Amino acid sequence: MAHHALVFGASGILGWAVVNEILNNYPRKGAYAKVTALTNRPLPQTFWPAAGPDVPELNLISGIDLSKGTAEEWRATFTEKIPDIATVDHVYYFAYQFHPDFPTEYQINIEMFKRGFGVIEALAPKLSYAILPTGTKGYGIHLPQRPFEAPFAESMGELPKPARDILFYYGLRDELTRLQRGKSWNWAEVRCDMVVGFVPNSNPYNIVALFTNFLSLYKYMHEKGHPAARSKRVSFPFPPPSYNAISTDGGQDIFARFSIHLCQQGGERAGNGELYNIADEATPRSFADRWPALCECFGLEGVGPDEGGEGVAKAAPVGFLREHPDQVEALERDKGVRLQEMPIGEGLEMWLHVFDFDHHLKLDKARSVGFAEEVPLRQMWKTAVESHSLQAAYAMLAVLLMTRPQQCISMLAKRYKHRPPSHTGDFRTVDLYHTGSSIYVRRPNDSNVNTSEAIQDASPMRYSKMGANRAAEALAGPDNHHDLSRVTYAYNWLADVSTPYLNAAAPTLRFSVPRHTLPPSPPAEEDQEVSDPSCPPRSKPARNDDVHGFDISPRAAGLPFPTGFPSARQSRHWRAGLETSSRALELFAGSAEMSQAVRAKGGKSLADVAAAELRRPAEDRFTKFATYLFPGADEARMRLVSAAIVFIIVFDGGFSLSLVSLVGLGWDVLMVAVFGVDSWEMHEEGKLGAVRDDFIRRLECGGAEHGANNTELQAFIDEVVAGLRHHDTIMGNGGQEVIDRLADFCRHSPPAAEFQTMDEYLHYRNVDAAVPFTLACTKFSIASSVHIEDPKLAKIMRLASDHLSLVNDLASFEKELRAYEEGKVHYLINAVDVMRKLLGLTSWSSAKAFTYAYQLEVESEMQREIENLMVDDCLDSEEWRFVEASLRMLAGNVFYSVVTSRYGGEAARIQ
């Protein structure tokens, strides 16, 4: 039976970890159906896994301040806010309020417990197990005369009076014992030493933040050559006895997992009222082990407190920050690192001075109930430092535009102009209100909005009622049903977005561009010199707009289509494209060379990337996007473009998006978290670098310098390169541009500055999202000779680049966020995240709404630019043909993103 957990204090260092482990399906998938997380302080960003079909349901309730109120009031509150409270069977009581006076702290926390657990216990008839966390003060480590000697074991018993009577641990034990008497549920107390871990909000007992603040500032000053930080060698800032005393780290993850383990075991094995010690490792450690590992995270060398020598830095963490306030400000200004608040930083320093004795725990009892998990010291501390450093990056970027609100207002307050067919000049406008730290946009009702479209776009469709076949048939007229590619997914990435301040339907784009046949088939080719499978005889010449593709109407099919484009187009040659791309993937997957080209230690090889794509149904692969982005291509060009897309997929999956670790911490984390690193450069050595070099040489030379093809895959790459160049001899010159942009993409490096505006981010995404490659493919697909970099086209091409990036980021956001929160990647590079930080938004849905608004603004700008180009009459027919193909490419990108399984997953499958 799947359990329902209720966690008090879910924003604290232990409560947050318990919720995180449950949502990550610990100890196994299906163990928990739901977790109700109660917090006093709100969590603007939880850093927990995103909701999904395989993630337990989360009910996050903030504002639970147990320091006040009566039992009757809390009974009413819990009943209202937790309607399924009767199903709760596991309770983790991690609520706590600090007070420096022990008797006062005792009284505060006992009353909180009565209002919290005491009320919940009476409302949860299925309660089976509860967890109470405590610390080593239970063994008297805070007392001048310590009653016990380490290693501490559970059998040592209670503290002597009067210490017992003023330590709230024992008061809570007494309350639990009283409440449990005569009941069927059981409970356990779990005890650890100083907890090490991460919390989204600040935490007073945050030893990681104490050291992270100090070492981040020291590293920054050292790199600037500051006289107070000349040496890379940093002395441990506390006395030698504290450096050498041994203890057992209480990592939050292990604590949470052991607590869950006890609840899963229940009273039959875990017992009732039992005390358990827990730690990351059974082997005790000292700061002689920890300090070098900590400093190593920042590229520094940690040494002992008694190590002399010229230049060795000696400083106390809190004092060092106070002595250099100008450098703290410079660190934030120059590197975007805001140091974390430390309410009792000096108190932590005091404890580190005082803890000059051994205070490690014995873990025999935890092992006796079947729990043997351990986390190595270096791994635990590195994970904790990474998490805190990334949190600091989020905190800094979140206030970026709050310091420049007028720029934000100016950006969002631009008019969304929509000129109706009658050209009456009736413009839709945006009213903007800036209130404190929030920005709200309202768009007035517009009589020009199609009501049926507004309702359709505002509410998620129940696609299961329509069915895949019916959806596909409704996309196009009966004459084109034979050529329709199957549609089996319908993903609405705005389903969780409530946008009452925007029109429910996007303003329809009406590009009255000069009519040019799109695309004209090139002249008949009498002599096909290249007869390889990637370059079959081309279609016969025709001037019919529908000879290679046809219009499709997503909205008529009941599919989401979050754009102002009224329709998209589909290629008739999609089967040929899929056939060629399948052959390319099979060659990559079966290549011994690609199997050895592993992107990182323990990572996937390039053959693995190709094999994973092959496991998808052919019509649901990523390569299908050529079907909708390049509907003007004839069969031969569709094959070549599809092959080039495989190269992007395999090498992108193996290189450009394979950021597997952070390269340095402190302020470097900000740079990596936001920008990533150049994965080609990460793997210059070894097989991966050799594969890269060979691939680029073949792009540049077509394999000619090698004299012969060594493998079938290499021969195929050479054939594709030759085919692209050969088609330039027939019509247009886009083939060489496809080759050049593909090589550029493989070499591209990360940006060198932080994103101060959305424009800066989109400029970076222009390369990172392979926009130049996509535009080159668009040009090649219609056999054009247009000069894409012509100044006359600069603005419309920039807008096209922005649109492509925004749509891709919106569509992929939930998938990327899920991977980030699950720890599969260490960064989140997405326009939605950038928007959230720039505007200081508190929810992802609001960030998506504003990002979508930005997309609509880009579309409105495109329409205005088209109108300006028409008025100026500065484009020739060839240039207009390319502009129209680019617009169709953008509409096709939106539609592909809706119908691919890559973004929405199985949850978006049409039943």
Tens digit of each residue's pLDDT (9 = 90 or more) over 783-795: 999 999 999 999 9
Q: Which of 194-203, 411-420, 665-674 has the highest mean pLDDT?
A: 194-203
- Residue 473: what pLDDT? 61
In sequence order, what are the beta bridge partners of 187? 130
Q: How far apart are CA 24 and CA 491, in angstroms?
A: 24
**The one-letter amino acid at 401:** L
Whether the CA torsion 847, 853, 859, 864 is positive or negative: it is negative
- Residue 589: what pLDDT? 85
As a whole number, mean pLDDT of residues 70-89 equals 96
Q: How far is CA 344 from the centre of its chain?
A: 32
- Residue 207: what pLDDT? 79
Q: Return the SS3 of 855.
A: helix
In sequence order, what are the beta bridge partners of 152? 361
Least confident range from 210-219, 288-297, 529-538, 861-870: namely 529-538
As a whole number, mean pLDDT of residues 602-611 equals 73
Contact 887, 801 (CB under 8 A): no
Least confident range from 326-330, 404-408, 417-421: namely 417-421
Other CB atoms within a 10 A radius of the CB of residue 469 amount to 12
User: Per residue in 647-705, pLDDT tens?
Assistant: 877 765 433 333 222 222 222 222 222 222 333 333 334 555 666 677 777 877 765 55
- Residue 501: what pLDDT? 55
In angstroms, what is the C-alpha Rg of the chain? 31
Least confident range from 269-283, 492-506, 760-774: namely 492-506
555 DSSP 8-state letter: G
- Residue 513: what pLDDT? 56
- Residue 512: what pLDDT? 56
Strand 285-286 relative to strand 568-571, pairing: unpaired
- The residue among 100, 252, 111, 120 whose CA lies nearest residue 172 is 111
Residue 67 phi, psi (nearest 5): -80, -5
Domain map of the chain by residue range?
Answer: 405-908
Tokens of 572: 């008739």
Burial (CB count <10 Å: 0-12, 13-18, 19+), residue 665: buried
Strands of 139-294, DSSP E: 186-192, 195-196, 233-235, 246-247, 250-251, 274-277, 285-286
As a whole number, mean pLDDT of residues 777-804 equals 95
With 80 as the cut, is the pLDDT of residue 343 above it? no
User: Per residue in 619-644, pLDDT tens?
Assistant: 777 768 899 999 999 999 999 999 99
- Residue 464: what pLDDT? 37
**CATH code of the domain made up of 405-908:** 1.10.600.10
Question: Which has more confidence, 515 or 96?
Answer: 96
- The residue among 812, 845, 777, 769 whose CA lies nearest residue 498 is 845
Task: Calculate ∠ Cα 669-671-676, nearest 5°.
Answer: 100
Q: DSSP per residue over 500-562, as a string?
A: TTS-SSPPPP---PPP--SSPPPPP-S-----STTSPPPPPP---TTSSEEEE-TGGGT----
- Residue 80: what pLDDT? 95
Question: Which has more confidence, 554 or 471?
Answer: 554
Least confident range from 60-64, 362-366, 453-457, 846-850: namely 453-457
Looking up tokens 């159906």, which residue turns up?
33
Confidence of residue 592 (pLDDT cuts 50, 70, 90): confident
In sequence order, what are the beta bridge partners of 8? 38, 93
- Residue 610: what pLDDT? 79
Share of the chain above pLDDT 70, in %: 75
- Residue 709: what pLDDT? 58
Least confident range from 330-334, 369-373, 406-410, 488-492: namely 406-410
